[in-house]
Structure 1
Amino acid sequence: MQRISARSLAALATIGTLVLTGCGTESGDPEAEAVSVSAGRTIRAQKFMQLTQVHGETGMTLLEGPTFGKDGGLFVVDVTAPEGKPKVMRVDVRKKTSRAVHTDGRGAYTSAQFSPYDGRLYLSDFAHGEVVSLAPGGGDKRTFFSGEVDGAQMNPDDIAFDQEGNLYVSDSRGLSEGEAHGRVVRISRDGAKATVLAKELAAPNGVSFDADHRGLWFSELTENRISYLRLDAKGKVTSRHTAIRVDGGIAQTDSIAVDADGNLYQGLHGRAAMAVYDRYGERLATVELPARTEGLESATNVAITPGGTKAYMTVSGPAGGYLYSFDALAKGIRQSNGG
Structure 2
Amino acid sequence: MVRAMTVSARAKWLAVAISCVVAGSVWVGVSQGAPTVAVGSYDTTAQLFATVAGPGSGPFGTSLEGAAFDKDGHFYFVNTTASPGEPKLMGLDLATRKVSTLYTDSTSMLNCIGFDPHGTMYLCDLKGQKVVSFDRASHALTDVLTSVGGTPFVPNDLTFDPAGTMYVTDYQDTTGRIIQVDANGAKAPVTGLNHPNGITMNGDHTALWIDEDLSGTLDHVAWQLSSPASTTLAATLHKAAYLSLGANAYADSLTVDGQGNVYMAVYGTGEVLEFNAAGVQVGKVVFPESAPKVTHVAIQPGTRKAFATASGPGGGYVFTFPALAAAPAGMPNGG
Scaled by the length of structure 1, the TM-score of the pair is 0.81
Out of 190, 196, 211, which is 1:204 matched to? 196
Distance 2:16 2:55 in 1: 14
What's 1:43 paired with?
A: 44
From 203, 208, 219, the counterpart of 1:216: 208
The amino acid of 2:196's aligned partner reads P
Say yes or no: does 1:278 pair with 2:312.
Answer: no
Determine the structure 1 residue equivalent to 2:239.
Answer: 242
Where does structure 1 lack aligned partners over 5 or more consecutive residues? 1-10, 19-37, 175-179
| Residues 275 and 282, structure 2, Cα contact 8 Å, conserved in 1 | yes
Letter in 1 for 2:126: F
Note if contact 1:258-1:335 (Cα within 8 Å) is conserved in structure 2.
no
Going from structure 1 to structure 2, the CA distance change for 1:275 and 1:98 (only over 3 Å counts) comes to same
Deviations 1:204-259 (A, max 9, x none): 00000001110011100011101111137xx9634321111222223221111011
Counterpart residue number, 2:320: 325
Answer whether contact 2:308 2:318 (CA < 8 A) is retained.
yes
- Cα drift, residue 182 of structure 1: 0.5
- The TM-score, its normalising length taken from structure 2, stands at 0.82
Q: Name the counterpart of 1:265.
A: 263
Return the alpha-carbon distance in structure 2 between the equivalents of residues 326 and 96 of structure 1: 16
Aligned to 1:154: 153
1:48-87 aligned within 5 A: 48-57=49-58, 59-87=60-88
AA partner of residue 229 (structure 1): V
- C-alpha deviation, 1:152, in angstroms: 2.5
Q: Deviations over 1:262-310 (max 9, x none)?
A: 1110110111111001122322111012xxx343212111000101000
1:202 corresponds to which letter in structure 2?
N
Q: Where do residues 296-311 of structure 1 align in structure 2 (5 Å cutoff)? A: 296-311=291-306
Query: Structure 1 138/77 Cα, relative in aligned 2: closer, same or farther at 3 Å?
Result: farther
Partner of 2:101, secondary structure, is: strand
- 2:308 is aligned to 313
Provide the aligned length of Structure 1 versus Structure 2.
296
> Any conservation in 1 of the 2:88–2:104 contact (CA below 8 Å)?
yes
Distance 1:244 1:124 in 2: 26
One-letter amino acid of the structure 1 residue matched with residue 320 of structure 2: S
The structural deviation recorded for 1:70 is 3.8
Is residue 180 of structure 2 the alignment partner of residue 181 of structure 1? Answer: no
Structure 1 residue 13 displacement after superposition: 6.6
**CA apart distance, 1:58:** 5.1
**1:57-105 CA distances to partner (integer Å, 9 max, x unpaired)?**
4551111111112443201011011111110001011111110001111
> Aligned with 1:82: secondary structure?
coil
Inter-partner Cα distance in structure 2 for 1:311 and 1:261 = 14
Q: CA deviation at 1:40?
A: 4.6
In 2, Cα distance between the equivalents of 1:109 and 1:48?
A: 23
SS of the equivalent of 1:211 reads coil
Letter in 2 for 1:143: D
Letter paired with 1:215: A
Corresponding residue of 1:116? 117
- Among the aligned pairs, what percent are the same residue? 30
Letter in 1 for 2:256: V
* Conserved 8 A contact 1:258-1:336: no
Q: Write the letter of the residue equivalent to 1:207.
A: I
Do the aligned residues in 2 keep the contact of 1:231 with 1:238 (CA within 8 Å)? Answer: yes
Tell me, in whole angstroms, the C-alpha distance in 2 between the residues paired with 1:327 and 1:73. 18
Structure 1 residue identity aligned to 2:201: F
Change (3 A) 1:13 1:248: closer
* One-letter amino acid of the counterpart of residue 284, structure 2: T
Is 1:95 the counterpart of 2:76? The answer is no
Q: Deviations over 1:96-126 (max 9, x none)?
A: 1110001111110110012213x22100011
Deviating 4+ runs (over 4 angstroms) = 11-18
